[in-house]
Amino acid sequence: DAKTTQPTSMDCAEGRAANLPCNHSTISGNEYVYWYRQIHSQGPQYIIHGLKNNETNEMASLIITEDRKSSTLILPHATLRDTAVYYCIVRVARGHNQGGKLIFGQGTELSVKP
């Protein structure tokens, strides 16, 4: 699975959009971009994933560049509860009985400040 690079930490003002970048320049054509986050002392939580089109759900938006070498996770209106470590992971999507494992990098520690 392709390697990802993320900034170590970022700050964001409460109520503003948080834009978290991720570089994955060696991504293959069949690899998806997944985003998870981990609030302190909890298990990771799935946020969103995509292949090449931009995606949006109730939690966030995922913008993937046309060459797929980088992506940005957008939290449109960050709250204090969004303070967490955000992980960008690239991997091939397995079949439903194959359950592909996730390898976590260091992630970005996002601090949302009042």
Partner 1 sequence: GAVVSQHPSRVICKSGTSVKIECRSLDFQATTMFWYRQFPKQSLMLMATSNEGSKATYEQGVEKDKFLINHASLTLSTLTVTSAHPEDSSFYICSASTLTGANVLTFGAGSRLTVL
Residues of this chain that interact with partner 1 (CB under 8 A) are 34, 38, 41-46, 49, 85, 87, 93-94, 96-107
* For partner 1, the closer CB: 17 or 102: 102
Closest approach, Cβ 67 to partner 1, in A, equals: 23
Say if strands 31-38 and 84-92 run parallel, antiparallel, or are unpaired: antiparallel
Q: Residue 64: beta bridge partners?
A: 71
User: Cβ atoms within 10 A of the Cβ of 53, count?
Assistant: 8
Pick 15 or 100: Cβ nearer partner 1? 100
Contact 104, 87 (CB under 8 A): yes
Would you give the DSSP letter of residue 14? Answer: T
State the nearest-atom distance from the C-beta of 43 to partner 1, in Å: 4
Nearer to partner 1, 14 or 21 (CB): 21
